[in-house]
Amino acid sequence: MTHAVASPKRSRPRWQRRKEARPAEIVAAALEVFVERGFAATRLADVARRAGVTKGTLYLYFESKEALFKAVVRETIVPCIAEGERLAEAHTGPARELFISLVHGWWKLIGETSLSGIPKLMLAEAVNFPELARFYSEEVVRRGQRLIGSVLERGIRSGEFRPIDVAIAARLVMAPLLHALHWRHSFGLCGAEPLDAQRFVDAHIDIFLHGISNA
């Protein structure tokens, strides 16, 4: 008489459990390395090492350094803009309140985090990598300007804001914020006078809104 031997229950290999998480881990590591070294000086081997994978594994998900950088932008900064767009779509109150929420939200999600290193990187290296600059301009800069512009137009229609050149004004909204994050990543690291970011952002909002107020 033979006895059936129960097949041992196979446990799922650890690498299989982590497989779906690997692209996200690689993107997170790439963000750190790009911010630390810039685009030109970043090597895929360094990103792979930081992510704890082989260079060959990295190539399974990203065919080039350019593709990896685009993934970093699309999975970190672009969602922040999308969140602002959702906030604007759902907002039913005054345009002024929406404007304040968006500016504070941008600074919290980007200005105060490691994502602030990406705009600095693009300004420094855009001339050497024009294709990446065009990509970043379309997916981040122009989309962000359209969002801010839509809020300004809403305020003009409601009578809160006086008639202005919306396209120019949207650029003016972002310029001081970019200055603040560039200071953080340059002079702020060299012992220069520290910039109180929160006071700076609050003052920018106050001055800008007074400048376009229709009151």
Query: Domain tally for the chain?
Result: 2
pLDDT at 215: 77
User: 194, 188 in Cβ contact below 8 A?
Assistant: yes
User: Of 38, 63, 88, which residue is a domain's last?
Assistant: 63
- The domain of 105 spans 67-212
Model confidence at 88, in pLDDT bands (50, 70, 90)?
Answer: very high
**How large is the greatest C-alpha to C-alpha distance in the chain, in angstroms?**
97
> Residue 139: what residue type?
E
Q: In sequence order, which ranges of 52-196 are alpha helices (DSSP H)?
A: 55-61, 65-90, 95-106, 117-125, 130-136, 142-158, 166-185
pTM of the model: 0.84
Say if residue 103 is in the same domain as residue 129. yes
Give pLDDT tens digits for 96-137: 999 999 999 999 999 999 999 999 899 889 999 999 999 999
Of 63, 84, 101, which closes a domain?
A: 63
Q: Do residues 28 and 131 share a domain?
A: no
Distance CA 133, CA 155 (A): 31
Instruction: Report if residue 76 sits inside a domain.
Output: yes
What is the CATH classification number for the domain harbouring 32?
1.10.10.60
Q: Are residues 139 and 34 in the same domain?
A: no
- Average confidence score pLDDT of the chain: 89
In a domain, 193, yes or no: yes
Nearest residue to 39 via CA among 108, 136, 113:
136
Residues 52, 157, single domain; the answer is no
Is residue 183 within 8 Å of 195, Cβ to Cβ? yes
Q: Are residues 32 and 94 located together in one domain of the fold? A: no
Distance of alpha carbon 178 from alpha carbon 116, whole angstroms: 9
Q: Please compute Rg for the chain using Cα positions.
A: 23
Same domain, 131 and 36: no
- Please give the single-letter amino acid code of residue 60: L
Residue 81 token pair: 């803009």
pLDDT value of residue 195: 81
Give yes or no: residues 38 and 99 share one domain: no
Residue 17 pLDDT > 80: no
Is residue 99 domain-resident?
yes
Q: For residues 56 and 180, give the distance between their C-alpha atoms in angstroms, rounded to a whole number.
A: 39
Among candidate residues 63, 97, 121, the one where a domain is terminated: 63
Based on the fold, state whether residues 57 and 163 are members of the same structural domain.
no
Whether 24 shows a pLDDT value over 60: the answer reads: yes
CA-closest candidate to residue 79, choices 143, 23, 123, 132:
143
Closest CA to 150 of 139, 140, 161: 161
b/e 106-120 (16+ beta carbons within 10 angstroms → b): bbebbbeeebbbbbb
Q: Does 85 map to a domain? A: yes
Judgement on whether residues 54 and 92 belong to the same structural domain of the protein:
no
Residue 1 placed within a domain: no
Please name the helix (run of DSSP H) or strand (run of DSSP E) that holds residue 113, with its range, or none: none
- Same domain? For 76 and 173 the reply is yes
CATH number of the domain where residue 151 is located: 1.10.357.10
